[in-house]
Amino acid sequence: MSKSLSFDALSQWQKIAFSAALLERMLPNYKLFSEATEFGEFSVLRNQLDTVWQWLDKNNRCKINYEAQLTKLEPQIPEPESFDFFGVYPALDTCMAMVSLLQIMQDKTSDGCFNVSKLSENSVVKYVELMLSQVMDEEAISDEDIDSHPLMQWELETQQELFNYISIAQENKKSCVHAKSLVLEEGLSNLGIEI
């Protein structure tokens, strides 16, 4: 899997921006799941992420009631046992990443940024395993098979590129716009699904 990024070196603003950008790549997975199963309201997560981006713009900073946001988010979180559909896992990872993002905003010492990074990576690992299991025996799938898969490589490269940018970015709206465009330039979610 990935060589760890050093999130401790980032400011709280940088951690939030990094996590929000990764969530932009995860959110389409939730939307697809929600549309396929008629579970959850995608708009709740979309609005929450938009609010985070607004908060990151220091000239336009909004107040966020975290308890209220978590209360809104809770009914959107799917229980994997309730769905016989792979899409539940990336959808769950997206919700857990949103919880982690809200935690970073409340607590500067939270390791939520690491959690968001791992949840994004985890969605890709599960998806790659699913794809590989269709062409080879599940028992035979190795970490190396997963790590060398183009989708996994793309995930790790995207996270590294985003981290490199965020770690030197000015804390302003322009940086937010650039971070978003950096992760969305190919028009694909982290699972390679068209946005």
Q: What is the pTM of this model?
A: 0.96
Give the number of other CB atoms < 10 A from CB of residue 49: 21
Using pLDDT thresholds of 50, 70 and 90, give the confidence band for residue 3: low
pLDDT in tens, 101-145: 999 999 989 999 999 999 999 999 999 999 999 999 989 999 999
**Nearest CA to 193 among 5, 41, 13, 31?**
31
pLDDT in tens, 148-166: 999 999 999 999 999 999 9
Instruction: Report whether CATH 1.20.1590.10 matches the domain 7-184.
Output: yes
